[in-house]
Amino acid sequence: MTFNKKSIEDVSLKGKRVLMRCDFNVPIVDGKITDENRLLGALDTIKYVSQNGGKVILCSHLGKVKGPDESKSLKIVSERLSQLLGKNLKFVPSDVVVDDSVRSEVSKMNEGDIILLENTRFRPEEGKCEEAFSKDLASICDVYVNDAFGTAHRAHCSTVGVTKFVDEAVCGYLIQKELKFLGDSVSNPQRPFVAILGGAKVSDKINVINNLLNKVDTLIIGGGMAYTFLKAQGYSIGTSLVEEDKLEYAKEMLQKAKEKGVNLLLPVDHVIGDKFDNNATRKETVDQNIEDGFMGLDIGKKTCEIFRDVLKNAKTVIWNGPMGVFEFSNFNQGTIEVAKAMAESNALTIIGGGDSAAAVNTLGFGDKMTHISTGGGASLEFLEGKVLPGIDALNNK
């Protein structure tokens, strides 16, 4: 995929009202933001637009609400963002996000000023991409900037609808960076190109597996999803997670890998437990097979070694999904080993958001990776080869 969308550098910003869709959907526990990576990720674009004379109007969703909900107000984000920007940012809350008081605030803005609107999901139309809210958003801006990669796979008013009613719809630095790494690595990778997929379910990653088999040299499958593949090959998997209705699909993918000459690697040993619990009776298997009454909760030592060797020689690595139940300290070693091997490798290393991004950051390997995607669902859809609606809607160069 060649990326030919206009960016903030391709349009004139001076004196323009610039509506910027960010992804400020941060985790908040007891009134505190517990992970501010998404705020940090937005700073470069905000600063660029502000320093180039734009009147910056920020918007974002927060949480899963479908109407006004005080507990999901962006007020807390506005306070932290002000500190991070080192600049006073004005929060202009409204239960309908855009109303006359917001319009009046916007009309008083000077070049370089920054304001933040209330949670876009306070408007029930947002998720349905309805015209009324899309038009409201468009009515307060001259230029629309999308920098919310994490929601680019959703066609909402603030990601897609608004673009129909503005002349200039462009992307910010964050989306540009995501597409550069995810896009270039998938369409034009330095080889050997290795993808590592893990996590709970095959069904969540069906199209990712199918698409990546057309691109990679090696596909590593670990985590809960590996057991469906192992069962499809006739191994005993005990009480491990399995999707019976995906056994045929797993067989097809194993066959496809063979036909495409892709090295598809599955665990050759496991760390198993007698129940889904950190304090389960813990054992290590000697081979692929798992005894009755036990379930695979992590990849074993031999598997870690094999995966490490493959990663040593790779030039591009993409990882999505943990190798085991990494939330349990007795079963997180496989995920740690893969993160470590990626951190030590000279390859271009890309983490496809979600749980693997959290794991890598928690383990302290974040700064050792080339790129950690800010979008779990969006990066997965991207790896499926899908066109993301929020990106598709932007103006071409």
Which spans of this chain sit near ligand AMP (rule: CB under 6 A)?
A: 199-201, 204, 223-224, 241, 296-297, 321-322, 324-325, 327, 354-355
Alpha helices in the chain (DSSP H): 37-51, 75-85, 100-107, 131-139, 173-178, 184-187, 206-212, 226-232, 247-260, 301-313, 333-344, 354-362, 376-383, 389-392
Surface-to-core class of residue 210, CB atoms within 10 Å of its CB (0-12 exposed, 13-18 middle, 19+ buried): middle
For residue 103 the two structure tokens come to 């319009």
- In the complex with ligand AMP, the residue whose CB is nearer, 92 or 266, is 266
- In the complex with ligand AMP, the residue whose CB is nearer, 161 or 199, is 199
Q: Distance between CA 373 and CA 179 in Å, rounded?
A: 10
For residue 215 the two structure tokens come to 């691109």
Q: Which residue is nearest to ligand AMP (CB)?
A: 199
Total residue length of the chain: 397
Which strand ranges, in their side-by-side order, compose the sheet holding 295-299?
282-284, 270-273, 295-299
User: Closest separation between CB of residue 61 and ligand AMP, Å?
Assistant: 20
Residue 130: count of CB within 10 angstroms of its CB = 15
- In the complex with ligand AMP, the residue whose CB is nearer, 43 or 200, is 200
- In the complex with ligand AMP, the residue whose CB is nearer, 94 or 210, is 210
Please give the angle made by the CA atoms of 121, 127 and 131, to the nearest 5 degrees: 100
User: Closest separation between CB of residue 298 and ligand AMP, Å?
Assistant: 7
- In the complex with ligand AMP, the residue whose CB is nearer, 283 or 312, is 283
Residue pair 385/211 in contact (Cβ under 8 Å)? The answer is: yes
Q: Which of 84, 79, 76 is nearest to 31 (CA)?
A: 76
Q: Residue 181 has what DSSP assignment?
A: I
User: Closest separation between CB of residue 326 and ligand AMP, Å?
Assistant: 6
Q: Helices 333-344 and 301-313 sit at what angle, rounded to 10 degrees?
A: 20
- In the complex with ligand AMP, the residue whose CB is nearer, 226 or 394, is 226
Q: What is the dihedral of CA 265, 268, 274, 278, to 10 degrees?
A: -60
User: Closest separation between CB of residue 380 and ligand AMP, Å?
Assistant: 9
What contacts 108, CB < 8 A, 6 or more positions away?
A: none
Catalytic residues: 38, 201, 354, 377
User: Closest separation between CB of residue 335 and ligand AMP, Å?
Assistant: 8
User: Closest separation between CB of residue 354 and ligand AMP, Å?
Assistant: 6
Distances (CA, A) of 325 to 216, 272, 273: 26, 11, 11
- In the complex with ligand AMP, the residue whose CB is nearer, 57 or 271, is 271
